[in-house]
Amino acid sequence: MPPKHFLQLKDFTRDELDHLFARTRWIKERFKRYEIYQPLRDRTLAMVFEKASTRTRVSFEAGMNQLGGIAINLNRGDTQLSRGEPIEDVARVISRMVDVVMIRTFEQTIIERFAAHSRVPVINGLTNEYHPCQILADIYTYIEHRGSIAGRTVAWIGDSNNVCNTWLQAAVVFGFNVHVSTPPGYAVEPERAGIYDDSHYVSFDDPMDACRGADLVTTDVWTSMGFEAENEERRRDFEHWMVDAAKMREAKPDALFMHCLPAHRGEEVAAEVIDGPQSVVWDEAENRLHAQKALLEYVVCGWVNP
Ligand code: CP
Ligand code: NVA
């Protein structure tokens, strides 16, 4: 059997993703009752970080430990990658020693090359193009608060980045709509987003229009990791794309607000929104832990029935 990689959200079928959500709920409930569940005893996760992280690092390491396994953290500078060892050779070696690998890196092609030479499952912990673990947690969080996301409207305000691209893939898989508003010059690139069906998103010039009637409003940093040189230009270009109370008022009265974090209050989101009653960002961050435990269980152990 080839290893079960999770490099983009659409690598998994709707059934597999629904299964992950069912397992997330089961794993989270047991964890909250302090019940031990260790299907990954004696298993090892290698985490390769070529970019900074708080949530991804802690949730994968804590999650692997809670499942009975161990996690090894490899920052780029500590490995021979920083001295030019080919990613294919690193994949061949690491995957003979561990049971699953999580990578946070730059171009999607890097993780694809790693996966093509790996004997074990590879999980995308964020690339320039996608952030599938984030959207697993986000959709699970939506379901917890509001039930099924099918048929709902998600407003994406800001940069058409890795998180946006993954929302667009999720819209196709789950059957919801995304209202996207980006500044001129930052529009969605469907091919880069990995979507060949554009019937699930609509672009709006004005972010207020994108928020109108939304069930969920979400955004992310204006400058993603790896694009720091564009920071000043982006601050100017994105000035009118801050999610503030006026934009939230355009959404449905019971609309939720999400942000993958880290957030910059006063830039992409106003403090009154992220710290306000519609914000579920802390549940969203916590659910990274539970959703990724379900993901680790699935890629290592296969389809587990409770
Ligand atoms: N949302 C997210 O992936 O956070 P980190 O960059 O802290 O891992
Ligand atoms: N789009 C952001 C997400 C950080 C979790 C970035 O890539 O830096």
Asked if residue 93 is part of any domain, the answer here is yes
**In this prediction, what percent of the chain has a pLDDT beyond 90?**
97
The boundaries of the domain holding residue 51 are: 9-131+285-301
> Is 158 a member of any domain?
yes
Q: Measuring from each residue's beta carbon to the nearest atom of ligand 1, which residues come in under 6 Å?
A: 53-56, 126, 134, 260-261
CATH number, domain with residue 150: 3.40.50.1370
- State which of 131, 261, 281 you would mutate to test the pocket of ligand 2, scoring each by most atoms of that ligand within 8 A of its C-beta: 131
Tell me: pLDDT of 118 over 80. yes
User: Does a structural domain hold residue 2?
Assistant: no
Does residue 1 sit within a domain?
Answer: no
Co-location of 291 and 274 in the same domain: no
Same domain, 144 and 266: yes
Say if residue 234 is in the same domain as residue 289. Answer: no
pLDDT, tens only, 54-68: 999 999 999 999 999
- When pLDDT is averaged across residues 81-100 and rounded to a whole number, the result is 96
Whether residue 180 is contained in a domain is answered as yes
122 and 145 together in one domain: no
- If asked whether residues 175 and 261 sit together in one domain, one would say yes
**Are 127 and 13 contained in the same domain?**
yes
C-alpha 30 – ligand 1 centre gap (Å):
25
Do 142 and 275 fall within a single domain? yes
| 274-294: average pLDDT | 98
Residues 100 and 173 in one domain: no
Say if residue 73's pLDDT is above 90.
yes
3-state secondary structure the chain: CCCCCECCHHHCCHHHHHHHHHHHHHHHHHHHCCCCCCCCCCCEEEEEECCCCCHHHHHHHHHHHHCCCEEEEEEHHHCHHHHCCCHHHHHHHHCCCCCEEEEECCCHHHHHHHHHCCCCCEEECCCCCCCHHHHHHHHHHHHHHHCCCCCCEEEEECCCCHHHHHHHHHHHHHCCEEEEECCCCCCCCHHHHCCCCHHHEEECCCHHHHHCCCCEEEECCCCCCCCHHHHHHHHHHCHHHCECHHHHHHCCCCCEEEECCCCCECCCECHHHHCCCCECHHHHHHHHHHHHHHHHHHHHHCCCCC
For 233-270, write each residue's pLDDT tens digit: 999 999 999 999 999 999 999 999 999 999 999 999 99
Q: Are residues 175 and 268 in the same domain?
A: yes
Same domain for 105 and 168?
Answer: no
Mutate to test the pocket of ligand 1, among 134, 161, 261 (most ligand atoms within 8 A of CB): 261
Ligand nearest to the CA of 138: 1
Which of 151, 142, 191 lies closest to 171, judged by CA? 151
Residue 274 shares a structural domain with residue 159: yes
Quote the pLDDT of residue 197: 80
Examine the domain organization and report whether 22 and 77 are in the same domain: yes
Distance CA 211, CA 220 (A): 15
How many structural domains is the chain composed of?
2
What confidence tens digit (pLDDT) does each residue in 148-207 have?
999 999 999 999 999 999 999 999 999 999 999 999 999 999 999 999 888 999 999 999
Residue 211 lies in a domain: yes
Phi (first) and psi of residue 303, to 5 degrees: -75, 105
